[in-house]
Structure 1
């Protein structure tokens, strides 16, 4: 049966469901909700009856959201974020109150010049009552989080352009091609290597970059593995089975430990532009506007 309207009871049930989904199960959500597992079970069952959907699997096999459950969870996150934004915009006026959801691509924490932590520190010096959440996700998920209002601002590498989003430069990152210590190219003299040598080995592709978005000199590569995150690519490189691109600042640790080397940097080095994105049509809370202003001041 369709949900005719969203009442206070529905919001309560959705709040319980969110807590269960975020905790990973009924028993784990007891402490946060401060109610018994039996009471949580009743709330979830009432919500499922209200929506006419099965939201989760529970039993000996463990807890897991169904496809409908994941959809309701994502929608409930957006709903509660909108409610918090409403309170900030209508009740808070120009006060820095409410919630701020920031999403960022993985492994930027050690970037030499752009540090979200510095921005958060400056924001913390202000008179505010804002609950900040930082999410880490791959680029395609970052876009979806902003589009679905699960994040106010996202920072990452976005090779495509979506008309619903606005883009602004944040920082650049030098990228190079790497192999691991156990790869056949690790001990090969640099002066003897050619692009043809490099192309014959297996490569790991950045899962968020389509083939037609690759530079011309990467298209001959034989891609037999892929990862959606920088850390995933690092695992594949360290296995000794694959070559892949990494940000130079991120790879520096393994370089210093003798576990990776850059391969033909004069041939494959390039700069990658990272950007900040927001929804074009979204109303801006005072907290979001101030944080975005600080991001602009600290970008490089």
Structure 2
């Protein structure tokens, strides 16, 4: 007996056969699939001839699968499921081996050695050399929305908005410490704030807050007599206010080490360092894409 090999015609006829079984007969299958009765009957008969097997009994007594038909139905279901998975995988591969991938981050994530973004991008370039990788910086309040609206394929944020279509995965943590300019007129007041207990009459210390709010920042700020003297939308803008002597601010340790300003002094408190948790963000329906899987694998190693 010669080996059986599946052709395109076989796939078409198997789909017809599955529809006939699903809808319980030739007439119902024709109606539900928008095909003609003769076309469905022809496909079913051709498949039986091709296989040399009677797949079903149809007539006045109703529709029923033969034992051989049940075996073919089970095998066909598995075959077409595997084919669908193959098609999806190939489509994902075609989309990611070329084309564009957009990664969004918030301010100063890329330079944080704990984030591992640079190493991940290097690995992505190695795996997908023909893919154009766009990296952009976004505000915390909008970055999740950009992923939800498919304007970004992947993001790293410090403040998850918990939007429904998205998956949020804890990534790395960032150490924040309280800094002030050594030339600030408020420096002594900041040290007094830490050294002494305070009450309602204690003078407040000027503080530069970040544009985005997180629970860990808010918790720290409410423990001390601070008043907001300025706000910054980026770490550079917060740093500028600190260096100008406006007040103190929480800044990432890695950021301060990188800028290397000798004009900054740490105000050590019992509650510092403040540890901020960052998250990876991607769409639930994109989790199995090859490029997303590769990026996740690399970032999880950091």
TM-score between both structures, scaled by the size of structure 2: 0.60
Q: What residue is the counterpart of 1:206 in the other structure?
A: 210
Q: What residue is the counterpart of 1:135 in the other structure?
A: 136
2:298 aligns with one of 276, 288, 294: 294
Structure 1 residue ranges without an equivalent (≥5): 1-86
Q: What residue is the counterpart of 1:231 in the other structure?
A: 236
- In 1, the alpha carbon distance for the partners of 2:191 and 2:216 equals 29
1:264 aligns with one of 251, 255, 268: 268
CA contact (8 A) 1:159 1:209 kept: no
CA contact (8 A) 2:216 2:275 kept: no
Q: What's the secondary structure of 1:265's corresponding residue?
A: coil
> Post-superposition shift, 1:108?
2.6
Q: What residue is the counterpart of 1:182 in the other structure?
A: 183
Q: What's the secondary structure of 1:233's corresponding residue?
A: helix
- In 2, the alpha carbon distance for the partners of 1:265 and 1:138 equals 29
- In 2, the alpha carbon distance for the partners of 1:141 and 1:286 equals 26
Q: What residue is the counterpart of 1:279 in the other structure?
A: 283
Distance 1:212 1:264, change over 3 A: closer
CA contact (8 A) 1:193 1:264 kept: no
Partner deviation per Cα, 1:278-298 (whole Å, 9 max, x = no partner): 12344754323322322222x
Moved more, 122-131 or 279-288: 279-288
Q: What's the secondary structure of 1:120's corresponding residue?
A: helix
- In 1, the alpha carbon distance for the partners of 2:196 and 2:110 equals 34
Q: Which of structures 1 and 2 has the bigger CA Rg?
A: 2
- In 2, the alpha carbon distance for the partners of 1:164 and 1:213 equals 27
- In 2, the alpha carbon distance for the partners of 1:195 and 1:163 equals 44
> Post-superposition shift, 1:129?
1.7
Moved more, 134-143 or 182-191: 182-191
Q: What residue is the counterpart of 1:33 in the other structure?
A: none
> Post-superposition shift, 1:195?
6.7
Q: What residue is the counterpart of 1:30 in the other structure?
A: none
- In 2, the alpha carbon distance for the partners of 1:280 and 1:104 equals 19
Instruction: Report the count of equivalent residues.
Output: 211
Structure 2 residue ranges without an equivalent (≥5): 1-87
Distance 1:126 1:212, change over 3 A: closer
Distance 1:189 1:105, change over 3 A: closer
- In 2, the alpha carbon distance for the partners of 1:172 and 1:210 equals 13
Q: Summarize the alignment of residues 34-113 of structure 1 with structure 2, pairs less than 5 Å apart.
A: 90=91, 92-93=93-94, 96-113=97-114
Q: What's the secondary structure of 1:114's corresponding residue?
A: coil
> Post-superposition shift, 1:165?
2.2
Partner deviation per Cα, 1:7-56 (whole Å, 9 max, x = no partner): xxxxxxxxxxxxxxxxxxxxxxxxxxxxxxxxxxxxxxxxxxxxxxxxxx
> Post-superposition shift, 1:130?
0.7
1:250 aligns with one of 244, 250, 255: 255
- In 2, the alpha carbon distance for the partners of 1:143 and 1:151 equals 9
- In 2, the alpha carbon distance for the partners of 1:112 and 1:282 equals 27
Moved more, 91-100 or 119-128: 91-100
